[in-house]
Chain A
Amino acid sequence: MNRGPLAQLLWLRARRDRFQVPVWVLTIAALSGLSSVAVEASFGTLAEREALVRIAVATPSLLMLRGVPQGTDVAALVFFQLFAFLAATVALMNTFLAVRHSRAEEQSGRADLVGATAAGRLLPLVATVLHGAATNVLLGAGVCLAFLAVGFDPTGALLSGAAIAATGLAFLAVGLVCAQLLRTARGANGLAAALVGVAYVLRAAGDAGGTASADGLSVASGWPSWLSPIGWGQQTSPFHSPEPAPLLLSLGFALLLIAAVLGLQSTRDLDASVLPERGGRNHASARLRGSFGLAWRLQWPSILGWSIAGLLLGAIAGGLGETIVDLAESNPLIGGALASIAPGGRGSIIDLFTAALFSLIGVLAAAAAMQSVIRLRQEESGGAGELLLALPVRRIRWMNDYLALGAITIGSVLAAAVTGAGLGLIRSADTADRIASVAGSGFAQLPAALLMLAIAALLYAFVPRVSIALSWAALLAALFVGQFGGVFGLPEWMRAVSPFTHTPVSAVRGADWAGAAVMFGLAVVAAALAVWGARRRDLTL
């Protein structure tokens, strides 16, 4: 059958994303469903939910992280816990999708090939918009169906799905704009991800500065939230006072940007960008020397970015604990709720909260470190590694450079997080003690993160072609099993597989450091095995 060019282009996009989009939809739906089950299990009674919501309403840093509480209904609590995170994830999926089908195509030269056919210059963009819109409908449907499956109010479920889809569409448009502005896919992806971050932070600022309702069980966001597409989705308040109107803002925003993108695309040259490409140096600086110098040059922006994220999370960890304790002391009801979670007084409560957030920072450090090994693999598969290894650069040395860089990354992210937590703790009464405890929490993350780095190295050495995908999968599995294994009642042996399960909780007196020592030993052995294996195999393009 002879299809028109638009149908062909749509088919091409659907075909390229035939695994990715279903995996996204299933992940988002599973996350929605499982979180609902988890919230229902942890906060089954109205009293528990009320206690949690009251803590949240009075805790700006919690509002920054999660969003605004909208009543004590289970569904409303799930929406409060989940929406901002879900919306940011869907936003990132959309910006990646937009750039992959636009700027990345131009950069690779495939857009020339397609543009030379009857498809022309605009039709591929139209196809990308339609493909992205369809993907968002699927993502929204996934959320809606998951909420229906756990028995939430149908109107609310539908509105939640619509909010996810509309937010996704808004960021699809943002991704397409970034692809017009910058010449490289990497740059466009980076800018788009930063804009997702800005949207999240605007919402966070607006929510933290929101005004609590008279009953103290919900919060109306401040004006900054209304500048953010994530905020608009959140304002639909699907399980409290359903209001679809804010989604018109998302749709209008998306249409406006898409119109602008169409205008730019029809006037600019192929492979040109609105912002010009900067030139480079004629000579290398004295620091660009040796294979480690090169690895550092390639990776430092990424290390910096992850470390800033660590600093911010650390600051939240530091600030959050203090606020919660203030609250506990001023309100006997909440104090009682907290005491049931963390017996042992003021210091112990702060330490436990900090330790819990630091376990997330450990995952962040592991992810940052694994990027170093992933870069090593990209250097090899991309061909630059061949150029380098034809020089007097030892294979073992080359790999060790990236492993060392990974270890440095872990140190940098954890040090940044401890610094951030220290800043957050400055107004604490016993700052010195608290900072010592936080430093202990930071140090405790080291073995698990190193072990994840070594696992990525093993994958690189023995299954190079699939090592990048498997590395991320291993991290996600370890994160899921380690962080949520308890909530979902996974068997003990399965939880024991995740390195993060064995991270000592330094806040607890007499924390078990044996697991940490074993993990450190395993990491060293695994890294040595990986280097040995990588030296023995052929260069794999």
Chain B
Amino acid sequence: MSTVIQTRELQKTFGRVRALDGLDLTVAAGEVHGFLGPNGAGKSTTIRILLGLMRGSGGSATVFGRDPWADASALHRRMAYVPGDVTLWPNLSGGEAIDLLGRLRGGTGTPAERARRAHLLDAFNLDPGKKGRTYSKGNRQKVALIAALATPADLYVLDEPTSGLDPLMEEVFRREIQAAAAAGAAVLLSSHILSEVEHLCDRVTIIRAGRTVQTGTLADLRHLTRTAVAFSAAGLTQPDLGQLAAGIRTIHDLVIEGGRVRFTADSDTLPDLLPLLARLRVQALSIAPPSLEELFLRHYRDDADGQARTEAEARP
């Protein structure tokens, strides 16, 4: 697969504020790439640099192998963008805005394009005859989404595109994005909606404070998290537990409360853990796989929780 977006050690400073501080991001063709991070982590700044609307202060960024700042308008022929907070022209109707944006992207109003537009208007259930100023946030977002999806692109850059949509519309959005990726397009999807990321994304990059803290497939990331283990404490002695802790070095937060032993273990040590538990003949065993939510929370939390972050970063 060919690389569509590549940034290395990307930096961006606004005065004394470091918005991006070593951001690495790679997105390949045919891939839906989740771009995650807490508010203010630098997602929108990264996207604006990739669109050539801002210039990086250091490091490198390329889109289709070219400089997004210098070659902005040439690159935009192959790109479609949906901003997180869509502003429309107050006295242009939604239909006019869609047509205008389509024409600027090189659309000529062929029958196929018109059919595609009509299909999307119908699927997203949008009335194109209302003035831009009268649309709600969700409807403004639909206008930008329809304009982006109406003309095929090689790269879709979507900044929290569904934050104002209802679940039904999110479903329509997912179908369209999956179809675009299946046709070979690359998609960079910034989102806070974990179920959306889980459904759509092949790989994710998590950033915090302008740095990449984690990148990989969802399966990789799951693998790096801890699994919660609990069983009945009845009949177990202190040496038994000591033996368990000694056997598996990656057992954390071991507690005994309410008659149950609880701890977490790194998910990749689970195969070594199971024989030990069997030897202790533990009762009422429960093993909970890591949730994505837990994974994200660990990365999102601030430095009060810095431990988890350092551990995650230390891994290959």
A residues near B (Cβ < 8 Å) are 107, 183-184, 186, 277-285, 288-291, 293-294, 297-298, 382-384, 386-395, 538-539
The answer to whether A539 touches B54, judged by C-beta atoms less than 8 angstroms apart, is yes
The answer to whether A283 touches B99, judged by C-beta atoms less than 8 angstroms apart, is yes
User: What distance in Å separates the Cβ of B216 from its nearest Cβ neighbour in chain A?
Assistant: 28
Q: Once the chains are docked, how many angstroms separate the CA of A290 from the CA of B102?
A: 10
Produce 1/0 per residue, B76-93, CB < 8 A to A.
Answer: 110101010111111111
Knowing A389-B51, A390-B53, A391-B105, the reply to whether A284 touches B87 (Cβ < 8 A) is no
Q: Please, which residues of chain B bring their CB within 8 A of the CB of A289? A: 100, 103
23 contacts between A and B (CB under 8 A): A278-B131, A279-B131, A281-B96, A282-B95, A282-B128, A285-B96, A294-B89, A383-B85, A383-B86, A383-B87, A386-B53, A387-B86, A389-B52, A389-B53, A390-B51, A391-B105, A392-B73, A392-B106, A393-B73, A395-B72, A395-B73, A538-B54, A539-B54
Q: Once the chains are docked, how many angstroms separate the CA of A338 from the CA of B265?
A: 101
User: What distance in Å separates the Cβ of A324 from its nearest Cβ neighbour in chain B?
Assistant: 43
- Interface: B116 (CB within 8 A): no
User: What distance in Å separates the Cβ of A41 from its nearest Cβ neighbour in chain B?
Assistant: 48
Q: Please, which residues of chain B bring their CB within 8 A of the CB of A298? A: 89, 91
User: What distance in Å separates the Cβ of A492 from its nearest Cβ neighbour in chain B?
Assistant: 41
- Interface: B144 (CB within 8 A): yes
- The chain B residue with its CB closest to the CB of A395 is B72
The answer to whether A184 touches B53, judged by C-beta atoms less than 8 angstroms apart, is no
Q: Once the chains are docked, how many angstroms separate the CA of A283 from the CA of B133?
A: 17
- The chain B residue with its CB closest to the CB of A537 is B55
- Interface: B219 (CB within 8 A): no
Knowing A288-B100, A289-B100, A392-B106, the reply to whether A387 touches B87 (Cβ < 8 A) is yes
Q: Once the chains are docked, how many angstroms separate the CA of A390 from the CA of B82?
A: 9
Enumerate B225-261 residues with CB–CB distance to A below 8 Å. Answer: none
Q: Once the chains are docked, how many angstroms separate the CA of A168 from the CA of B95?
A: 42
The answer to whether A383 touches B83, judged by C-beta atoms less than 8 angstroms apart, is yes
The answer to whether A384 touches B53, judged by C-beta atoms less than 8 angstroms apart, is no
Q: Once the chains are docked, how many angstroms separate the CA of A186 from the CA of B103?
A: 28
Produce 1/0 per residue, B122-140, CB < 8 A to A.
Answer: 0000001111011000000
- The chain B residue with its CB closest to the CB of A394 is B73
Q: Once the chains are docked, how many angstroms separate the CA of A293 from the CA of B89?
A: 13
The answer to whether B96 touches A390, judged by C-beta atoms less than 8 angstroms apart, is no
B residues near A (Cβ < 8 Å) are 48, 51-55, 72-74, 76-77, 79, 81, 83, 85-101, 103-106, 128-131, 133-134, 144, 157
User: What distance in Å separates the Cβ of A465 from its nearest Cβ neighbour in chain B?
Assistant: 12
Which of B51, B92, B94, B103 makes the CB contact (< 8 A) with A297?
B92
Q: Please, which residues of chain B bring their CB within 8 A of the CB of A278? A: 131
Q: Once the chains are docked, how many angstroms separate the CA of A277 from the CA of B132?
A: 12
Q: Once the chains are docked, how many angstroms separate the CA of A393 from the CA of B91?
A: 21
Which of A186, A386, A389, A394 makes the CB contact (< 8 A) with B90?
A186
The answer to whether A280 touches B92, judged by C-beta atoms less than 8 angstroms apart, is yes
Knowing A395-B72, A538-B53, the reply to whether A279 touches B93 (Cβ < 8 A) is yes
The answer to whether B53 touches A539, judged by C-beta atoms less than 8 angstroms apart, is yes
Q: Once the chains are docked, how many angstroms separate the CA of A277 from the CA of B133?
A: 10
Q: Once the chains are docked, how many angstroms separate the CA of A382 from the CA of B91?
A: 14
User: What distance in Å separates the Cβ of B142 from its nearest Cβ neighbour in chain A?
Assistant: 14
Which of B74, B91, B106, B144 makes the CB contact (< 8 A) with A387?
B144
User: What distance in Å separates the Cβ of A377 from its nearest Cβ neighbour in chain B?
Assistant: 14
What would 7 more interface pairs be, CB under 8 Å, given A184-B133, A387-B86, A391-B81?
A279-B93, A280-B91, A284-B96, A284-B103, A293-B100, A386-B87, A390-B81
Q: Once the chains are docked, how many angstroms separate the CA of A280 from the CA of B96?
A: 8
Q: Please, which residues of chain B bring their CB within 8 A of the CB of A386? A: 48, 53, 83, 87
Q: Once the chains are docked, how many angstroms separate the CA of A284 from the CA of B93?
A: 8
User: What distance in Å separates the Cβ of A17 from its nearest Cβ neighbour in chain B?
Assistant: 24
The answer to whether A384 touches B76, judged by C-beta atoms less than 8 angstroms apart, is no
